[in-house]
Structure 1
Amino acid sequence: MAVSYFIYVTDKENNDFNLDKFNNDIKQRFPKVGILVKDDEDCRYNICWEDYEDEYEFELWMLKDRSVFMINYFNSKNRLYDYAEFIKWLRSYFPYEKEALLCDEGYSKTLVLNEGEEIEDILEILE
């Protein structure tokens, strides 16, 4: 299994990503999440959300232009299913009229994440 997975919109003009809403929502869903913002201009991925509690563990980064989520790590008791649900939830923060893809770090597995995407389809990429 690949170490990192990416969710990205193919249209790099993603000016409508609502970072404040996402931050509020992720804190509600994962109350112990930590948020790190890097001001270094050389960092391509400048925001990190981390959660290492009993039920879920993850490290999630976002590209500066807000067009890519990079999931470096995810773990839970029901890992693959929870991971697929997490990916589906993250996809909902990109407009559905824009194409969004899920791929592994080697780009060997890719899935177009359409509105209403089934968990089973995402599981095929993760397995």
Structure 2
Amino acid sequence: MAVSYFIYVNDKENTDFDLEKFNRDIKERFPGVSVEVKNDESCKYDVHFEYYGAECEFELWINRDRSVFVIDYFNSKNRLYDYAKYIIWLRSYFSYGREVLLCDEGYNKTLVLSEGVETEDILEILE
């Protein structure tokens, strides 16, 4: 069974998140990524990214107020290590002046993603 992971700012607003920059960067890093934007105001998670490439595969959502990434699926040859690096990359889109957390869907495992967080720290959550 797949487990979703959340990367989120520990306050309600994320006004400094630059969705246009993120879109450019994700398309550059993962050529061929598909992006779907839902214009339905009732959708809490309105931007969906899906990528099935040679290096990895993932499904990612961003919530409407840009304070949460939800990784619904991630796979690669070196899955856990690559997943941890991917999480570090995603975390970089939130200001390091804010508390950003990583947790599993059941909130059983939580980690503060502070500046300088190491892949080994994240691996403990993913394992």
TM class, shorter-chain normalised?
A: over 0.9
SS of the equivalent of 1:60 reads strand
2:54 corresponding residue in structure 1: 54
SS of the equivalent of 1:26 reads helix
- Whether the 8 Å CA contact 2:4–2:73 is kept in 1: the answer is yes
1:82 corresponding residue in structure 2: 82
Amino acid of the structure 2 residue aligned with 1:115: E
Q: Map residues 1-127 of structure 1 onto 2, 5 A cutoff.
A: 3-127=3-127
Amino acid of the structure 1 residue aligned with 2:76: S
Q: What's the offset of the Cα at 1:2?
A: 5.4
The alignment's TM-score, normalised by the length of structure 2, stands at 0.97
Aligned-partner Cα distance in 1 for 2:83–2:12: 25
Q: What's the offset of the Cα at 1:54?
A: 2.3
**Cα offsets for 1:53-84 (capped at 9, x unmatched):** 22210000000000000000000011000000
Q: What's the offset of the Cα at 1:40?
A: 1.1
Q: How much identity, in percent, do the aligned residues show?
A: 71
RMSD: 1.0
The alignment's TM-score, normalised by the length of structure 1, stands at 0.97
Q: What's the offset of the Cα at 1:11?
A: 1.6
Aligned-partner Cα distance in 2 for 1:17–1:26: 14
Which 5+ residue runs of structure 1 have no aligned equivalent? none
Which 5+ residue runs of structure 2 have no aligned equivalent? none
Amino acid of the structure 2 residue aligned with 1:126: L
